[in-house]
Structure 1
Amino acid sequence: MTTLRRDDLYDDETFDGTDLSGVDATGSTLVDCTLRGVVLDDARLTRATLRGCDLVDARATVLDAVRGDWTDVTVAGARFGGVSAYESRWRRVTLRGGKIDYLNLRDATLDDVVLDGCTVDALDLAGVRATRLVLRDVRVRELVLDRARLAACDLTGLDTGGLRAVRGVGGLAGASITAAQLVDLAPVLAEHVGLTVV
């Protein structure tokens, strides 16, 4: 298999080192597929459905995964610039290792999603509905949580010491953090509740 097409079905296919730059796979369905070392520059996976897929060492400057439906997907060692995945539905998705400059998950629904050992320069969770979101050894510089609704989320693995900006800190309600993280977040929490520290 050499490419992806709109509204097509791919079952148990392997893409190894394939250049998928600029492909339009809008509405496509991938089941039990492996994408290893692929290039996804300006690829469109808008409204794509992924089931049981592995993306290993994938690369992209810009990736459109808007309104995607991903279940049992692992993304390992990826190097992405901007990823637009707003209004997506992710279930049992793991992002392991790698680096993403900007991950836009605005208004997404996340269930049992794990970020493990990765760096995300800007993580946009505005309006997200997340249940059992887990961050392990994750470095984030800018975190956006406006209107976020979290339930049973474990953020104890977030490197809050590396945060440069936090917006919508009230969206942390429903998450677990450590005492050390609370100290790091104290200034923005104080600002949020209108507390003056002297």
Structure 2
Amino acid sequence: MEREGTYEWLHFDGCDFEDVDGGSSGFAESAFSAATFTRGRYRRSQFEDIWLHTVRMVGTDRAETTWMDSECNEVVLAGTELSGSHMNRVNFYNCKFDSVNARLAKLRNVAFVDCLLRDVDFGGAVLTNVTFPGSTLDRAHFDNAKMTKVDLREAAGLSITSGLEALKGATISTYQLLDMAPALAQVLGLTVKDA
């Protein structure tokens, strides 16, 4: 794999990519299975019609990447940089996100299904038509994010550390509202007292 390389109709099976500089590369109609990415730079790369299965990404730089019409199954992203990335029509199934930086990212028509998102930072991100069925958001950050048609109702867990005010444009369930009421009251500066 080389910087500014073009890769089409390939299957990367069981490959181990360590400290690779694949920045500004293009991947199309390809698959990655049982592959591991350790560190490495893939900044500004493009992924179109990509399928990933049981892939691990640890400490990789994928900032400002573009993802379209792709599917990720049982993918683990730990300490991964996704800031400024663009995703459109991307589905994540049974994936684990741990300490992922998605600040200023733009997500459109993205689904997180049965995923775990722990310490994921969506600060300043733009989320449009994004869903989280069966997924757990643990210590998520949404500072200054913008949401349109974001549906959180089917999330299995919803723990937001910061950026509650950015939920404008999102849909939550009555139960989630009651659960978040104390934190929302604090953000709004409300004092709640029983007479």
Q: Does 1:147 align with 2:158?
A: no
Shift in Å at residue 166 of structure 1? 2.0
1:101-180 equivalences in 2 (<5 Å): 101-160=98-157, 163=159, 165-180=160-175
1:133-152 deviation digits (Å, cap 9, x = unpaired): 11111112111111111001
TM score, norm. by length of structure 1? 0.93
Alpha-carbon RMSD across the aligned residues, in angstroms, is 1.2
What secondary structure is seen at the aligned counterpart in 2 of 1:186?
helix
TM score, norm. by length of structure 2? 0.95
**2-side partners of 1:6 and 1:47: how far apart?**
11
1:95-106 equivalences in 2 (<5 Å): 95-106=92-103
Instruction: Calculate percent identity across the aligned residue pairs.
Output: 26
- Tell me which residue corresponds to 1:80: 77
Task: State the one-letter code of the partner of 2:168.
Answer: A
Task: State the one-letter code of the partner of 1:11.
Answer: E
1:31-50 equivalences in 2 (<5 Å): 31-50=28-47
Equivalent pairs, count: 193
Once superposed, which parts of structure 1, at least 4 consecutive aligned residues long, lie more than 6 Å away? Answer: none
- Tell me which residue corresponds to 1:22: 19
Does the 8 Å CA contact 1:37/1:57 hold for their aligned counterparts?
A: yes
**2-side partners of 1:22 and 1:73: how far apart?**
24
**1-side partners of 2:134 and 2:119: how far apart?**
15
- Tell me which residue corresponds to 2:55: 58
**2-side partners of 1:136 and 1:76: how far apart?**
15
1:110-138 deviation digits (Å, cap 9, x = unpaired): 11011110111112111111110111111
- Tell me which residue corresponds to 1:92: 89
- Tell me which residue corresponds to 1:182: 177
One of 48, 63, 67 as aligned partner of 2:64: 67
User: Gaps (5+ residues) in structure 1?
Assistant: none
Q: Does 1:195 align with 2:190?
A: yes
Does the 8 Å CA contact 1:160/1:185 hold for their aligned counterparts?
A: no
Task: State the one-letter code of the partner of 2:13.
Answer: D
What secondary structure is seen at the aligned counterpart in 2 of 1:120?
strand
What secondary structure is seen at the aligned counterpart in 1 of 2:90?
strand
**2-side partners of 1:189 and 1:160: how far apart?**
17
